[in-house]
Amino acid sequence: MKKKILYGLFTISLNFLFINVTSQDIALPAPDKTGGKPLMQALSERQSVRAFTKENLSQQQLSDLLWAGWGINRLEDKKRTAPSARNVQEIDVYVALPSGLYLYMAESHILKQIHNRDIRAVTGTQDFVAGAPLNIIYVADLGKMGKKEGDVIKESDLLSSYANTGFIAQNVYLYCASANLGCVIRGMVPKDKLAPEMGLRSNQVIILSQTVGVPLKN
């Protein structure tokens, strides 16, 4: 156990040395891997929520949510809280916050700022999306599956990426139920508008989006 913790600390420090962390990036606090609601209770409470307060998530909530969704839970071989076909791990988790667009770097557990524009409104076609504090965008990096920029991408190339995203999104649903947050996974995403706003390459494909926030109680 002690060896595992030391190995983890060593890996995190190395990542900070080699990843260019800027002042615009968000260095997340360590995820709280204890507590939360029992699994059966979280499953009982899991649901889609589409009305949110304007309250931002705390950095601890962001940290816990991203780790629960797609964090590394076995440091030695960099495996994650969700499975992925052949362990390719091609799904990148982008986060649209009021302060800008970020990419979740699971190894260093930081949010790397892509730019400082608020693109929440472009992540979906439904009204609640623009005002919710957080919109996650799941992007398949097909470069990790051998596709080069300019290559033709067929729907069948994306089958496992849809499945892999489903596992991550369900982890986020369960974390939200456990933390009294609300969320909804969304296929209604204006991908042609959103991809250029995110600066994606042609071999990066938006799969789904997921809105998260504090539920508005009626």
Ligand X SMILES: Cc1cc2nc3c(=O)[nH]c(=O)nc-3n(C[C@H](O)[C@H](O)[C@H](O)COP(=O)(O)O)c2cc1C
- Which residues sit at the interface with ligand X, rule CB under 6 A? 47-48, 50, 126, 184-188
Distance of closest approach, residue 70 Cβ to ligand X, in angstroms: 17
Q: Which residue number, 48 or 116, has a Cβ lying nearer to ligand X?
A: 48
In the complex, minimum distance from the CB of residue 193 to ligand X, in angstroms, rounded to a whole number: 15
Smallest separation (angstroms) from ligand X to the CB of 209: 8
Residue 216 is given by DSSP the state: P
Q: Which is nearer to ligand X, 63 or 161 (CB)?
A: 161
End-to-end CA distance of the chain: 46
Closest approach of ligand X to the CB of residue 106, in Å? 23
Nearer CB in complex with ligand X: 26/185 = 185
Residue 54's alpha-carbon distances to 111, 128, 214, 217, in angstroms, are 21, 10, 8, 12
d(CA 119, CA 209): 13
Show Cβ contacts of residue 141 under 8 Å, excluding neighbours closer than 6 positions.
90, 91, 92, 203, 204
Pick from 166, 148, 165, 163: nearest CA to 204: 148
Give the residue with the Cβ less far from ligand X, 112 or 186.
186
Q: 63 vs 209, which CB is nearer to ligand X?
A: 209
- CB of 218: closest distance to ligand X in angstroms? 16
Q: How far is the CB of 182 from ligand X (least distance, A)?
A: 10
Closer CB to ligand X, 126 or 160, in the complex: 126
Residues 6+ apart with CB under 8 A from 198: 94, 101, 114, 119, 137, 139, 206
Closest Cα partner for 141 from 102, 101, 94, 80?
A: 94
